[in-house]
Structure 1
C-alpha cells in the first residue's frame, strides 16, 4: 500500500473571511497587527478575542479607543446538524457592538449570519462564513477594505420603490368593522 492510500483524508475547514475598514487606517495604522490575505488556523474550542490587549486577544486593533477585549467569537456546531457556525459576544462595557442592525450591550451575544456587518466606534467589519466539515479547527482570513463597507453595502441594497407610491411610516387606524 502506498502512503497516499493510507493517509488521513484532508478535511476542509470552515473559514470566516473578515474584511476590516476604519476611516483613519492610513494615518493611524490600526490594523497593523493583523496578517492579511492568509488563512490562520484556530482550534475549534478557542474563544477568539479581538481587542487592544495583545496579551489576551488573538487579534489586535492598535487603537486606544478600542476596549482591551472588544468582542469574542466562538465556533460551534448547530444542534442536530452537521453545519458549523459562529456566535459573537460583546466584551466591552463601554462600547455597544452592532451586528446587522442588532445592538449588543456588554455580554450580549448572537449567532453570526452567513454574511453580516459588525460595527463599533468607527470600525466596520464584514464577516462572511464559508462552510467546511472539520470539527477540530477553523480558519480566519483578514482582508483590508480601501473604501467604507457601509457605503458599498448601501449602494448594493438601495430600496426600489414603485413609481407613484408614497411610503407612510406612521400607523394607520382601521375600524374593526371594515
Structure 2
C-alpha cells in the first residue's frame, strides 16, 4: 500500500468570503490593517470580531467612525444536523447594522444568510459562505471591491411582486423596477 492510500481523507473547510467596500477606501485607507492576500484560519470556538480596536478585534478598520467593537461572527453547528453556519451580532451601541434588509440594533443577532450584504455607516460587505466539513476551525478570505457592492449586485427587494404586474410606487435599487427572476439568477 502506498502512503497516498494510507493518508487520512482531507476534510473541506468552511470559508467565509468577505468583500469590503467603503467610498473613501483609497484616500482614507480604512482597510490598511486587513490582510487581503491569503485565507486566515479562525478557531471554531473563537468569535471573529470586527471594529476599530485592534487589541479586541481580529479584523481592524482604521476609521474613527467605526465603533471599537462593531460586530462579531460566531461559527456554529446547527442543532441535529451536520450543517455549519455563522451568527452575526451587532456590538455597536451607536450604529445600526443591516444584513440584507434586516436592521440589527445593539446586541441583536441573526443567522448569516449564505450570501448577503452587511452594511453599517458607509461600509458595505458582501458575505458568502463556502460550506465545509471541518469542525475545529473555519477560514476567512477577504477581498476588496473597487465599486459599491449595492450598485454592483443590486439585490432584489424582499417586497412581494403582485401577479397583476403592477409594481410598487417606491424606488428600488436605483430606479429599476422589480422583475420576476429565478433564485439562481440572484447573483
TM-score, length of structure 2 as denominator length = 0.82
How far did 1:37 drift?
3.8
The runs of at least 4 aligned residues of structure 1 exceeding 4 Å deviation read: none
Residue of structure 2 in register with 1:58 after alignment: 58
- CA, structure 1 residues 168+116, in 2 after alignment: closer, same or farther (shift >3 Å)? closer
SS of residue paired to 2:26? helix
SS of residue paired to 1:133? coil
1:61-80 matches, within 5 Å, as 61-80=61-80
Q: 2 CA distance for matches of 1:40 and 1:133?
A: 17
1:2-17 matches, within 5 Å, as 2-17=2-17
Q: 1 CA distance for matches of 2:5 and 2:56?
A: 42
How far did 1:137 drift?
0.6
Q: 2 CA distance for matches of 1:102 and 1:96?
A: 10
Q: 2 CA distance for matches of 1:166 and 1:47?
A: 45
Q: 2 CA distance for matches of 1:165 and 1:20?
A: 36
- CA, structure 1 residues 165+83, in 2 after alignment: closer, same or farther (shift >3 Å)? closer
How far did 1:168 drift?
5.6
Unaligned runs of 5+ in 1: 170-178
Residue of structure 1 in register with 2:113 after alignment: 113
SS of residue paired to 1:132? coil
How far did 1:4 drift?
3.5
1:78-109: per-residue Cα shift (whole Å, max 9, x none)? 11111100000000000000001110000000
Residue of structure 1 in register with 2:185 after alignment: none
How far did 1:157 drift?
3.8
Q: 2 CA distance for matches of 1:69 and 1:7?
A: 42
Q: Which moved more, 1:135-144 or 1:29-38?
A: 29-38
Residue of structure 2 in register with 1:134 after alignment: 134
Q: 1 CA distance for matches of 2:48 and 2:156?
A: 30
CA RMSD in angstroms comes to: 2.1
SS of residue paired to 2:134? coil
TM-score, length of structure 1 as denominator length = 0.86
Q: Which moved more, 1:132-141 or 1:4-13?
A: 4-13
Q: Which moved more, 1:74-83 or 1:5-14?
A: 5-14
1:51-83: per-residue Cα shift (whole Å, max 9, x none)? 000001000000011000000000001111111
